[in-house]
């Protein structure tokens, strides 16, 4: 949990045990937090382990220190969030002022990195989300933590959750603190309070701070968690403050090349010198991280459904050709001619079979997917994730918008089409031209039509390279009413096995 510490000299353990004996069995000191000493104890009444934070006796006699300590207790007691260590009770017994909070079995982030090295991208992203959500909750209630650092982040050994602790120097205001409140300081000017190695530039200068100051500190924490080192190295607090104020942080990708680029960019943005260059609030940071994290592996049955069925593509092409080029004209001819009813019926039945075959194949594939325990939502989710990655890749290669040559080809297709229409109108006598020009018009019409067709084909090919319309159509089909109807039809008589649930990263337990 908290970092281990020697038994403090400010108070003796026997004195504390004697004072709290009616309610707690105090076991041992486990750390220091802000202006208090932290002990692990067992609460007698509920038979549960708790962490007790005690104000040292020499500070307890000072009214200002006592009020500051109790203010921390009141601040945290008002917060109810799964990623904030909750406070159970606040009390004063003899010379001891203390509060009891949840005991988190695990270790601090500082201990985890010191013993196990940098976190992998997945765990670091989860930590960013956990602490980001805790900060967002506190900010919405007018609280700036001002001391976000690895020692104040606890990693629950049972669930893997990250919890924020130690609001000892938090600043509170009656309204939410965010970028929208730049005109109302979230903390007084002229005070430099916090941990120098993790302090935002504005906090290091003693300027007013808002929610984005905590995001800078969280960026330093993320840099440390992913690389195993701080963005700045110094031997004194003054040197740390000067570096945070004046020196740009090194790009995380340069220090830790194995970190996914998009996650590294998020951390770099948190470490921007100017608050307005960072994320506007914790919710925006969490959303960016969630959008960046690589999705969990798609189940085998869904992956198999998405694989191009090359063994079916040949027969599908033949079926399409036979239906469109042979069966449809035969059915139309049979109905338009004086063919006997038997011939008409046979032609219609043959055409119907050609149209039904693709549907039968699709239903069979969907039934196999349903039998494996998956439904349409699993397929759509996989397609959405695949198309998101595909769009990102294509935008990187070809750009998000048409380049100059594509726009030129598109305009050429339009102009050539207009030329074809003008030539056809002239041949039809709609437009009057000199008689000696008339013999040239058929050639002009053909050339314009060919140019328009060729330019359209090239423009379409370039657009498809950048947008993957085939994948988009596939997604829209299975997301739309036809896909819903196919799943409903295919589900008739299928014995469903319990669905395979993708466990979201928020509920994973680290190994």
103-154 per-position pLDDT tens digit: 988 899 999 999 989 998 888 999 999 999 999 999 998 899 888 999 999 9
My answer on whether 387 and 349 are in the same domain is yes
Give the per-residue pLDDT at 473: 81
Q: Among 77, 102, 127, where does a domain finish?
A: 102
Residue numbers annotated as active site: 147
CA distances for 283 relative to 138, 183, 262, 288, 459, angstroms:
12, 21, 17, 9, 40
My answer on whether 190 and 271 are in the same domain is yes
My answer on whether 357 and 429 are in the same domain is yes
Residue 502 covered by a domain:
no
38 pLDDT above the threshold of 50: yes
229-249 mean pLDDT: 92
The whole domain housing 263 covers 106-292
User: Residue 167: pLDDT band by 50, 70, 90 thresholds?
Assistant: confident
Give the residue from 162, 105, 155 showing the smallest Cα distance to 131. Answer: 162
Residue 496 covered by a domain:
no
> How far apart are the C-alpha atoms of 187 and 169, rounded to whole Å?
11
Determine which of 398-412, 472-486, 496-510 has the lowest per-residue pLDDT on average: 496-510
Q: Among 64, 80, 102, where does a domain finish?
A: 102
Calculated CA dihedral for residues 301, 307, 313, 315, nearest 10 degrees: -20
My answer on whether 96 and 121 are in the same domain is no
377 pLDDT above the threshold of 90: no
Q: Are 73 and 90 in contact (CB under 8 A)?
A: yes
> How far apart are the C-alpha atoms of 387 and 395, rounded to whole Å?
12
Give the per-residue pLDDT at 356: 67
Residue 505 covered by a domain:
no
Give the residue from 453, 411, 445 showing the smallest Cα distance to 425. Answer: 445
Q: Are 99 and 91 in contact (CB under 8 A)?
A: yes
Concatenating the DSSP letter of every residue in 36-90 gives EEEEEEEETTTTEEEEEEEE-HHHHTSHHHHHHHHHHHHHHHT---TTBPPEEEE
User: Residue 279: pLDDT band by 50, 70, 90 thresholds?
Assistant: very high
My answer on whether 87 and 128 are in the same domain is no
Secondary structure of residue 493 in the 3-state scheme = coil
Q: Among 242, 276, 292, where does a domain finish?
A: 292
My answer on whether 428 and 282 are in the same domain is no
Residue 510 covered by a domain:
no
pTM (2 d.p.): 0.56
Give the per-residue pLDDT at 313: 46
Give the per-residue pLDDT at 198: 93
My answer on whether 142 and 270 are in the same domain is yes
508 pLDDT above the threshold of 90: no
Q: Are 220 and 194 in contact (CB under 8 A)?
A: no
Q: Are 502 and 385 in contact (CB under 8 A)?
A: no
My answer on whether 346 and 288 are in the same domain is no
My answer on whether 285 and 188 are in the same domain is yes
My answer on whether 470 and 398 are in the same domain is yes
Residue 7 covered by a domain:
no
Residue 48 covered by a domain:
yes
Give the per-residue pLDDT at 84: 92
Q: Are 331 and 348 in contact (CB under 8 A)?
A: yes
My answer on whether 45 and 124 are in the same domain is no
196-221 per-position pLDDT tens digit: 899 999 999 988 889 999 999 999 99
Length of the chain equals 511
Give the per-residue pLDDT at 244: 94
Residue 355 covered by a domain:
yes
CA distances for 347 relative to 303, 317, 323, 344, angstroms:
39, 20, 11, 5
User: Residue 450: pLDDT band by 50, 70, 90 thresholds?
Assistant: confident
> How far apart are the C-alpha atoms of 209 and 153, rounded to whole Å?
21
Secondary structure of residue 250 in the 3-state scheme = coil
For the domain that residue 27 is a member of, what is the CATH number?
A: 3.30.200.20
Total domains in the fold of the chain: 3
13 pLDDT above the threshold of 90: no
For residue 409 the two structure tokens come to 């080809």
Q: Burial code of 169-183, b = ≥16 C-beta within 10 A, e = fewer?
A: bbbbbeebbbeebee
Residue 509 covered by a domain:
no
Residue the block writes with tokens 């939410």 = 176
Q: Which residue has the higher pLDDT, 43 or 35?
A: 43
CA distances for 115 relative to 111, 153, 163, 298, angstroms:
6, 15, 19, 33
My answer on whether 133 and 74 are in the same domain is no
User: Residue 373: pLDDT band by 50, 70, 90 thresholds?
Assistant: confident
With a pLDDT cut of 70, the percent of the chain lying above it is 71
Q: Is 205 exposed, middle or buried (0-12, 13-18, 19+ CB in 10 A)?
A: middle
> How far apart are the C-alpha atoms of 44 and 67, rounded to whole Å?
28
């Amino acid at each position: 949990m908290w970092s281990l510490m020697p038994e403090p000299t400010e108070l003796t353990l026997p004195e504390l045990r004697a004072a709290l004996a009616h309610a707690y069995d105090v076991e041992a000191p486990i750390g220091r937090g802000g202006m208090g000493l932290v002990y692990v104890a067992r609460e007698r009444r509920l038979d549960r382990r708790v962490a007790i934070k005690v104000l040292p006796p020499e500070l307890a006699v000072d009214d200002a220190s006592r009020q500051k300590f109790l203010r921390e207790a009141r601040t945290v007691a008002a917060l109810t969030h799964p990623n904030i260590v909750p406070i159970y009770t606040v009390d004063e017994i003899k010379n001891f002022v203390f509060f009891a909070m949840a005991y988190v079995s695990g270790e601090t982030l500082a201990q985890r990195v010191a013993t196990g090295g940098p976190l992998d991208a997945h765990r670091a992203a989860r930590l960013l989300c956990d602490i980001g959500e805790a900060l967002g909750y506190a900010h919405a209630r007018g609280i700036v933590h001002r001391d976000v650092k690895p020692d104040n982040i606890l990693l629950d050994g049972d669930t893997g959750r990250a919890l924020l602790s130690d609001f000892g120097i938090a600043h509170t205001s009656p309204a939410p603190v965010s970028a929208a409140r730049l005109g109302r300081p979230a903390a007084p000017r002229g005070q430099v309070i916090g941990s120098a190695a993790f302090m935002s530039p504005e906090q290091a200068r003693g300027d007013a701070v808002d929610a984005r100051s905590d995001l800078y500190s969280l960026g330093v924490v993320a840099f440390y968690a992913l690389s195993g080192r701080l963005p700045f190295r110094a031997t004194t607090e003054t040197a740390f403050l000067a570096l945070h104020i004046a020196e740009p942080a090194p790009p995380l990708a340069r220090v830790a090349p194995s970190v996914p680029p998009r996650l590294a960019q998020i951390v770099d943005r948190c470490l921007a010198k100017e608050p307005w260059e960072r994320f506007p609030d914790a919710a925006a940071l969490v959303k960016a991280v969630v959008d960046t994290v690589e999705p969990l592996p798609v189940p085998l049955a869904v992956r198999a459904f998405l694989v191009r069925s090359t063994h079916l593509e040949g027969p599908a092409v033949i079926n399409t050709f036979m239906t469109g080029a042979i069966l449809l004209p035969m059915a139309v001819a049979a109905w338009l001619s004086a063919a006997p009813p038997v011939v008409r019926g046979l032609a219609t039945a043959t055409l119907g079979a050609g149209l039904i075959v693709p549907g039968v194949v699709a239903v069979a594939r969907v039934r196999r997917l349903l039998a494996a325990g998956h439904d349409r939502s699993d397929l759509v989710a996989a397609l959405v994730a695949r198309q998101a990655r595909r769009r990102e890749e294509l935008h990187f290669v070809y750009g998000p918008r048409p380049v100059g040559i594509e726009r030129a080809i598109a305009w050429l297709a339009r102009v050539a089409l207009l030329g074809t229409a003008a030539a056809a109108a002239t041949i039809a006598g709609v437009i009057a031209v000199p008689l000696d020009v008339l013999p040239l018009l058929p050639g002009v019409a053909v050339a314009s039509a060919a140019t328009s067709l060729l330019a359209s084909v090239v423009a379409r090919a370039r657009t498809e390279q950048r947008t993957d319309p085939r994948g988009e159509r596939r997604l829209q089909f299975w997301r739309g009413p036809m896909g819903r109807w196919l799943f409903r039809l295919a589900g008739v008589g299928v014995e469903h096995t319990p669905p395979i649930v993708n466990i979201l990263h928020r509920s994973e337990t680290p190994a």
